[in-house]
Amino acid sequence: MTQLPDEYQAAELRNKAVDQLKEDGTIVSPGVEAAMRKVPRHLAVPKASLDDAYSTYNAVVTQEDERGNHTSSVSAPQIQAMQLEQAGIRPGDNVLEIGTNGPNAAYLAELAGPTGQVTTVDIDPAPAARAERFLAETGYTGVTVVVADAEDGYAKHAPYDAIVVTAGAWDIPPAWIEQLKDDGRLVAPLRINGLSRTYGFVRQDDHLLATSAHVCGFVPVQGAGSHAQQVMQLPGDKGVTLHFDEGPPANPSLLEGVLDTDRAETWTGVTVASQEPIGTLQMYLAAHVPTYCSMSIDSDLATGKIGPTGLGFSMVAIDGANFGYIVVRRDAEKKTAEFGFHAFGPDGEAFAERLASIVRAWGRDYRGGPGPRIAVYPAGTPDDRITGDRIIDKEHSRISISWPVA
């Protein structure tokens, strides 16, 4: 039986996905549109149905570990288009892709054109082999596929006009900056205080300045750049686990007995509509509360002292012996929600009010604004060379966060 009908259906679904991405504003440039209409991404995921291969907003998982964790995937067309727009690839560009799946390297090759060069690197031989087969099958034989830990970039083909990272990173290693040309672009999903955004950066001398940021989710980086969250059980409740991305409090023992204190409750007066984006609120809280972390609750083991948060995420702050977390209450028709805080500890009431004041500041000054300005400096950069409201130190970098008023 001929495969032509499947190819016609694939083209139809591919064009439908691109039309959706143009309509929602993800695709804005003719080059990205043309590349995504041309590359037959379904050939990279032969076990998936055509509908799944061209699902606009869903990734296709291609590999899992023994515990069921996703270790490789072909990202959703939305995420790929988002990063391609951030990267601004031009004809003749020399591009490095970190984390390979095949279709994205083909998109980059389309954008860089016959005078450009694309190198795609993956630490795992399996996705690299799948990518190599896909690129050969679809005619993108000029793309170089390399198996290596890209923590050190790929110096052989540097310097690059653009580096596109398709795995979730906790830090920006020096090579990713050093192997960029000045004014070169780095697109990377970077985790800051547990919150992932794909950032579009531009190199300025020895540091990076972010020019765009979008909420995203990616399979995490493996190898030398991997970073596991630290977890801690909340003292007094076996069902409550705290997850720290930037490190636990200096003295966790101060939380012993914290749930034996009265629970304070404070409401902020800040309400949001049911579909209103709150990504900037999440980042503002994470950047301004003391010892930020997230919380997961096992309802079968929890004591019930931690009240329902009413949210799909649980943002937590710890200050010495005080513990607080954000909650919401919705109106009767569930069209709006007001933010509040519960807090425990010797200064629980004051701590809840202190946290509430941070949300009120966001609502007053930053809500609806452009979000934070992010800059990435090498580790060891003196404070007087860095501007920003908050500096987060990682192994290889110092991340500056500042907030322009809306």
Q: Which residues are catalytic?
A: 75
What are residue 97's DSSP bridge partners? 120, 164
The token pair that represents 32 in the structure block: 């990205």
The token pair that represents 111 in the structure block: 């954008």
Torsion of CA 225, 374, 201, 212, to 10 degrees: 120
DSSP annotation string for 72-100? EEE--HHHHHHHHHHHT--TT-EEEEES-
- Distance (Å, rounded) from C-alpha 323 to C-alpha 306? 11
Q: Which of 81, 59, 58 is nearest to 72 (CA)?
A: 59
Query: Between vectors from CA 294 to CA 406 and to CA 229, what angle results, nearest 5°?
Result: 115
The token pair that represents 283 in the structure block: 């980042």
The token pair that represents 103 in the structure block: 């279709």
The answer to whether 75 and 104 are in contact (CB under 8 A) is: yes
**Sheet of strand 397-402, all strands in order from the earlier edge strand to the far edge:** 144-147, 117-122, 94-98, 160-165, 180-192, 195-204, 207-215, 373-378, 397-402, 390-393
